[in-house]
Structure 1
Amino acid sequence: MTTVFRSTALDAHQRGREFGTTFASRVRANVETYHAMFDRLSAGTFDVAEAGRAALAATTAFAPPLAEEMHGIAEGAGLSPELIGALNARTEVLATIRAKTRGECSAVIHLPADLDAPVAVQTWDWYAIFRDSWLVWEIPLADGTMTKTMTEYGIVGKSGLNSRGLGLLFTILHHSADGGRIGVPVHVAARWALDSAANIFRAGQLLAQADVSASSSLNLTAYENGIGKAMSVELHPGGPSFVLPDRDGFLIHTNHFLAPGPAVHDTEPRAYPDTLLRHDLLRRQLGTFARPTATDVLGVMKRHVGGEGAVCCHPEPGEDPATAYKTLSTVILDLKAREMTVLDGGPSEH
């Protein structure tokens, strides 16, 4: 069952403290599980505290209120701020230690030809040990707007939407320049775009300023003044790149770069070519619909072809739980109604 939590505090630090206090055991569990993963993948040579300090410094420079929120989460959960900083920079830490992690997620956005509201759906695929690590966080802001995000306990944001009609779907990417330092965490960038951007143009502009050290695609979609819009911002060191929907209105992102420039330095297809297969399957199957609905997209996403590399993925029989992959949740954005539905598990489980 999906946990939904709505904050009551408007001050960033107090909001984080409220969250950290409410979910102290869940936040600590995520910190411990990720810390164990970092130690395992780096053979215990990685300085998590230093990475956390770097993440907090980068967040303070890019999105000061979110740094305050992270300090509040740490206070509420009884942890050092550096550990919460490293948790929010888990993508950047994994890139720095050159961990051979699989891609996460498949995202679909479709813009109708009549400019009506977009359809936006994604799966979130990650290690099965994190299946209880996430929730939906509803965040009222001081300006009267609200951000809703599906995120992990202790991480400030991921996929979501805001009450101004802006939505964001999130998939990880891998570039040869990733790692080497800790820049603005991509999860921080995603949340800050939802909190502070007035529209999709401003969101793209803001994300372009993020000095990132790891790659991800932040797939923006919006329904503003009765017009649907979409654009993928592919964040990477030296980037970003921008991708628009194709001639049929589809913007489909798995875990490889779509822009030709960074695609030259893409490390994902060689390691995990399922990203290409998932993209191809989704585009061909959804292309049979003149105007796909969210239900149509979910139906296509139920495919298990490819086993662990499928759009809706499940651990292989007998696989080590520490490395097994699973679709942990499925996100559906209703831009017209400003609502987000998050299903517990993959599309085939519903």
Structure 2
Amino acid sequence: MTYVFRSMHTEPTARGREFGQQHAQKIHACVETYQVLFDRVATRSFDLRDLGARALAQIEAFAPPLYQELLGMAEGSGVEVVYLGAINARTEILAYLGAQLRGECSTVVRIEPFSGKPVAVQTWDWYAEFADLWLTWEIPHADGSLTTTVTEFGIVGKAGVNSRGLGVHFNILHHERDGKEIGVPVHVASRWMLDSCNDINQALQLLGSAKVSASSSLTLIAVVDNSSAAVSVELHPGGPGLVFPDANGLLVHTNHFLSSPAREGDTEPRGFPDTLVRYDLLTRRLVNRQGLTAQHVLAAMNSHLGSISAVCCHPIPGQPIAGQYATLVSLVIDVASGTLTALPGGPCGHPQWLAHD
């Protein structure tokens, strides 16, 4: 069952302190598990406290309220704030350490021409040792709006939705320019976008201003009245690229760049071509489909083709969990209502959510 936590405080420091007090054990576990991961994959020596401090400086400059939230979370949990900075920048630190990691996550969005109810679904694949270290966090704001995000304990956000008609899905990317420094953490950029933006143009401007040091695709979905739009913002150190749905409103994203010129420096297809297989499979299963629902998309994602690199992936039985990938969450976002449904594990574990027509 998905654990859902709703903050009671709207002031950032107090909200962070409350979250830290309520989840101290899980935050400690998340920091410790990332420390082990960094040690295992690093190709160079590193000082995690220094990297965390550098990340905090970026967070303070880009999103001051989230910096204050992390200070409160550190106070509440008893975890030194530099380590919270480090796990919020886990994508940037993994790139900085030169880790050779395959991509994770498959995203599908379908936009109808005259409907404000887009379909937006993704799988979140990550290391299996983090299977018990995520939650759904509901974050009320002083103006009455609400941000809801699926994230890891101690990390301010990831994929999610707000009550102002914006949602976001998340896919990691890898580029040859990644990892030269510690830039704005992409997880912070995603959460700050949900917290601070009222429409898709504001969101595009904010994400375009983020000086990132590691690549990710943030797929924005926007709804106003009976109009909707979607665009994948491919962030990388050279600046963002934009990918829009096809003529039928279908947008599929896995873990390779679809925009130029960034795709020329894409390292993913050479090392982990499963991203191309997943993209092709989902596109073929969903293109030109009429009346597409979240259940249809989850049924298309219920594929174990490629084994541990499948859309719905599982650790190899009998082998140590550490270092193996798994689909940790199947996530359905309803942007029109400002809500999301986080289904633990892959689509295959939720037959009631799979369309069979």
Q: Is the 8 A contact 1:146 1:163 kept in 2?
A: yes
Which residue pairs with 1:221 in the alignment? 221
| Partner Cα separation in structure 2 for residue 155 and residue 50 of structure 1 | 18
1:79 is the counterpart of 2:79: yes
| Partner Cα separation in structure 1 for residue 12 and residue 121 of structure 2 | 29
Which residue pairs with 1:286 in the alignment? 286
Q: Which range moves more in the overlay, 200-209 or 314-323?
A: 314-323
| Partner Cα separation in structure 1 for residue 337 and residue 198 of structure 2 | 17
Q: 1:245-260 maps to which residues of 2 (within 5 A)?
A: 245-260=245-260
Q: 1:1-150 maps to which residues of 2 (within 5 A)?
A: 1-42=1-42, 45-150=45-150
**Alpha-carbon displacement from aligned partner over 1:147-179 (angstroms, at most 9, x marks no partner):** 000000000000000001100000100000000
1:191 is the counterpart of 2:191: yes
Task: Specify the SS of the correspondent of 2:336.
Answer: coil
Q: Is the 8 A contact 2:334 2:340 kept in 1?
A: yes
Which residue pairs with 2:297 in the alignment? 297
Number of residue pairs aligned between Structure 1 and Structure 2:
350
- Report the alpha carbon displacement of residue 44 of structure 1 after superposing the two structures with TM: 7.8
Task: Specify the SS of the correspondent of 2:265.
Answer: coil
Which residue pairs with 1:347 in the alignment? 347
Q: Which range moves more in the overlay, 81-90 or 336-345?
A: 336-345
Q: Which range moves more in the overlay, 300-309 or 281-290?
A: 281-290
| Partner Cα separation in structure 1 for residue 101 and residue 302 of structure 2 | 23
Residues 40, 51 of structure 1: alpha-carbon distance in 2 compared, 3 angstrom cutoff: same
Q: Which range moves more in the overlay, 64-73 or 37-46?
A: 37-46
| Partner Cα separation in structure 1 for residue 42 and residue 303 of structure 2 | 34
Q: Is the 8 A contact 1:38 1:46 kept in 2?
A: no
Which residue pairs with 2:154 in the alignment? 154
Q: Using the aligned pairs only, state the percent identity.
A: 54
Task: Specify the SS of the correspondent of 2:59.
Answer: helix
- Report the alpha carbon displacement of residue 265 of structure 1 after superposing the two structures with TM: 0.2
**Alpha-carbon displacement from aligned partner over 1:291-341 (angstroms, at most 9, x marks no partner):** 310000010000111101110001123333111110000110112222110
- Report the alpha carbon displacement of residue 52 of structure 1 after superposing the two structures with TM: 0.6
Which residue pairs with 2:326 in the alignment? 326
| Partner Cα separation in structure 1 for residue 232 and residue 44 of structure 2 | 36
TM-score under structure 2 normalisation? 0.96
Q: Is the 8 A contact 1:112 1:291 kept in 2?
A: no
| Partner Cα separation in structure 2 for residue 72 and residue 39 of structure 1 | 27
Q: Which range moves more in the overlay, 280-289 or 206-215?
A: 280-289
Q: 1:170-181 maps to which residues of 2 (within 5 A)?
A: 170-181=170-181
- Report the alpha carbon displacement of residue 121 of structure 1 after superposing the two structures with TM: 0.2
- Report the alpha carbon displacement of residue 238 of structure 1 after superposing the two structures with TM: 1.5
1:202 is the counterpart of 2:202: yes
**Alpha-carbon displacement from aligned partner over 1:111-150 (angstroms, at most 9, x marks no partner):** 0132432100000000101000100000001121100000
Q: Structure 1: any 5+ residue segments left out of the alignment?
A: none
